[in-house]
Amino acid sequence: MELMPIKNPVYVDLWEQIQQQFPSVVSAQEDDYGMLTLYTSKEQIIAVLRFLKKDKHWQFIHLTDITAVHYPLELLPFTVVYHLQSLVLNLRIRLKVAIGGEPPEIPSATTLWPGANWMERETYDFFGIQFLGHPDLRRILNMDELEAFPMRKEYPLEDPNRVDKKDLYFGR
């Protein structure tokens, strides 16, 4: 991947510090909309999150969101996306971890934020991503009997076997 240089000086500082702390964090990129994205690995993610949260200067204490994106054609098909916010510096960043395997596994962030609990349950519910160390990884919005993980791209929006929605009934 070709990376654009980071323009925002605050992000440059942050990226330099992260590189010092975690030499093997893969890369960082600032997008057109002024948001820094850090790409890291599932081995590193908790350490990076802990650094970002606990660091006296950066204080990314607000875990805004955890979700995932499914790229079925990629080698590592699932990307777990974290949005963090530093209320003191008024700064938002995005962290991405690409994972593969079946089931895909990643350590849970509940050790750092109890509030990650439901966000990770939701992500598990829809993508089947196992958050290792999560205290209560159950489905949250879908019914317990559901066997599939419905936000995966291969899961159809509608049941293709439905017989009550034939096109001819709708003049198509």
Q: Which residues bind another protein (CB under 8 A)?
A: 31-33, 35, 37, 61-65, 67, 69-70, 81, 83, 87, 90, 92, 94, 113-119, 122, 126, 135-136, 138-145, 150-151, 155, 157
Taking the complex as a whole, the smallest distance from the CB of residue 124 to another protein amounts, in Å, to 13
Taking the complex as a whole, the smallest distance from the CB of residue 2 to another protein amounts, in Å, to 14
DSSP state of 163: S
Nearest residue (CB) to another protein, 15 versus 82: 82
Taking the complex as a whole, the smallest distance from the CB of residue 112 to another protein amounts, in Å, to 9
Q: Which two tokens stand for residue 159?
A: 């049941």
CA–CA separation, 35 and 87 (whole Å) = 15
| Residue 109: exposure state from Cβ atoms within 10 A (0-12, 13-18, ≥19) | buried
Taking the complex as a whole, the smallest distance from the CB of residue 23 to another protein amounts, in Å, to 26
Taking the complex as a whole, the smallest distance from the CB of residue 123 to another protein amounts, in Å, to 9
CA–CA separation, 8 and 133 (whole Å) = 36
Q: Which residues pair with 93 in a beta bridge?
A: 36, 84
Contact in structure between 127 and 121 (CB atoms under 8 Å): no
Nearest residue (CB) to another protein, 34 versus 43: 34
How many CA atoms are closer than 13 Å to the CA of 45, on its beta-carbon side? 27
Q: What three-state secondary structure class fits 49?
A: helix
